[in-house]
A and B are shown apart, each in its own frame.
Chain A
Amino acid sequence: MSIATSEPLSQPAADTTARSTASRSEDYLWTLNFGPQHPATHTTLRLVLKLEGERVVDAMPEMGYLHSGFEKIGEHLSFNQYVTVTDRMNYISPMANNVAWHHAVEKLLGIEVTPRCVYIRTIVAELSRISDHLLCNGAVGLDTGALTFFLYAFQQREVIYDIFETLCGARFTTSYTRVGGLSQDITPLVVEKIRSFLKTFPKTLVDMERLLTRNRIFVDRTKGVGVLSKAEAIARGATGPIARASGVTRDLRKDEPYLAYNDFDFSVPCATAGDCYARYLVRMDEMRESLRIVSQAVENIPAGPVDIGIDQRIARPDKKQVYSTIEGTISHFELSMSNRGFEVPYEESYAAIEAPNGELGFYLVGDGNETAYRARCRPPSLLHFALFPHLIRGHTLSDVVAVLGSLNIIAAELDR
Chain B
Amino acid sequence: MSVEPETSPETSPETSTGGGSDAGYQALIAAFPGLESSVFRGQQRVVMPAASLADAMRQIHQLGFDLLVDVSCVDYLEYRGATSRYGLVYLLVNTRTNERLTVRCFVDDPEPTVPSMVPLWPAANWLEREVWDLFGIRFTGHPDLRRLVMPEEFAAHPLRKDYPLQGRGERHNFPVISREQS
Q: Which residues of A contact B (CB under 8 A)?
A: 12-14, 63-64, 67, 69, 71-73, 75-76, 107-108, 110, 234-237, 239, 248-252, 254-258, 268, 346-350, 352, 359, 361, 363, 365, 367-368, 373-374, 376, 378, 382-383, 385-386, 415-416
> Within the assembled complex, what's the spacing in Å between the Cα atoms of A73 and B159?
10
- Name the distance in Å between B170's Cβ and chain A's nearest Cβ: 12
Q: Is residue B22 contacting chain A, with contact meaning CB distance below 8 A?
A: no
Nearest-CB residue, chain B, relative to A235: B122
Nearest-CB residue, chain A, relative to B163: A72
> Within the assembled complex, what's the spacing in Å between the Cα atoms of A415 and B133?
12
Q: Is residue B91 contacting chain A, with contact meaning CB distance below 8 A?
A: yes
Q: Can you sample 6 A-B contacts with CB below 8 Å?
A: A69-B158, A250-B1, A257-B19, A347-B40, A363-B70, A373-B74
- Asked, given contacts A14-B152, A256-B20, A382-B126, whether A376 binds B70 with beta carbons under 8 Å apart, the answer is yes
Do A255 and B127 have beta carbons less than 8 Å apart?
no
Do B165 and A76 have beta carbons less than 8 Å apart?
yes
* Beyond known contacts A237-B123, A251-B1: 6 more, CB 8 A cutoff: A63-B149, A71-B134, A110-B41, A237-B127, A257-B19, A416-B149
Pick from B72, B146, B149: contact of A14, CB below 8 A.
B146
How many interface contacts (CB-CB < 8 Å) are there between A and B? 124
> Within the assembled complex, what's the spacing in Å between the Cα atoms of A72 and B135?
12
- Asked, given contacts A234-B66, A237-B69, whether A367 binds B79 with beta carbons under 8 Å apart, the answer is yes
Do A383 and B126 have beta carbons less than 8 Å apart?
yes
Do A386 and B19 have beta carbons less than 8 Å apart?
no
Q: Is residue B68 contacting chain A, with contact meaning CB distance below 8 A?
A: yes
In the assembled complex, which residues on chain A have CB atoms less than 8 Å from the CB atom of B153? 13
Q: Chain B contact residues (Cβ within 8 angstroms of A): what range?
A: 35 or more
Q: Is residue B125 contacting chain A, with contact meaning CB distance below 8 A?
A: yes
In the assembled complex, which residues on chain A have CB atoms less than 8 Å from the CB atom of B169? none
Q: Is residue B67 contacting chain A, with contact meaning CB distance below 8 A?
A: yes
Nearest-CB residue, chain B, relative to A390: B122
- Name the distance in Å between B3's Cβ and chain A's nearest Cβ: 7
- Asked, given contacts A64-B148, A234-B67, A268-B1, whether A376 binds B72 with beta carbons under 8 Å apart, the answer is yes
Do B1 and A73 have beta carbons less than 8 Å apart?
no
Do A72 and B123 have beta carbons less than 8 Å apart?
no
Do B80 and A346 have beta carbons less than 8 Å apart?
yes
Nearest-CB residue, chain A, relative to B146: A14
In the assembled complex, which residues on chain B have CB atoms less than 8 Å from the CB atom of A67? 149-150
> Within the assembled complex, what's the spacing in Å between the Cα atoms of A347 and B74?
12
In the assembled complex, which residues on chain A have CB atoms less than 8 Å from the CB atom of B75? 374
> Within the assembled complex, what's the spacing in Å between the Cα atoms of A231 and B72?
23
In the assembled complex, which residues on chain A have CB atoms less than 8 Å from the CB atom of B102? 350
- Name the distance in Å between A353's Cβ and chain B's nearest Cβ: 11
Residues of B72-126 at the interface with A, using a CB-CB cut-off of 8 Å, are: 72, 74-75, 79-81, 89, 91, 93, 95, 98, 100, 102, 121-123, 125-126
- Name the distance in Å between A363's Cβ and chain B's nearest Cβ: 6
- Name the distance in Å between B81's Cβ and chain A's nearest Cβ: 7
Pick from B74, B130, B152: contact of A12, CB below 8 A.
B152
In the assembled complex, which residues on chain B have CB atoms less than 8 Å from the CB atom of A12? 152
Do B123 and A383 have beta carbons less than 8 Å apart?
yes
- Name the distance in Å between A20's Cβ and chain B's nearest Cβ: 16
Do A235 and B66 have beta carbons less than 8 Å apart?
yes
Do B19 and A255 have beta carbons less than 8 Å apart?
yes
Do A72 and B159 have beta carbons less than 8 Å apart?
yes
> Within the assembled complex, what's the spacing in Å between the Cα atoms of A42 and B52?
44
Do B68 and A237 have beta carbons less than 8 Å apart?
yes
- Name the distance in Å between B88's Cβ and chain A's nearest Cβ: 11
In the assembled complex, which residues on chain A have CB atoms less than 8 Å from the CB atom of B20? 255-256
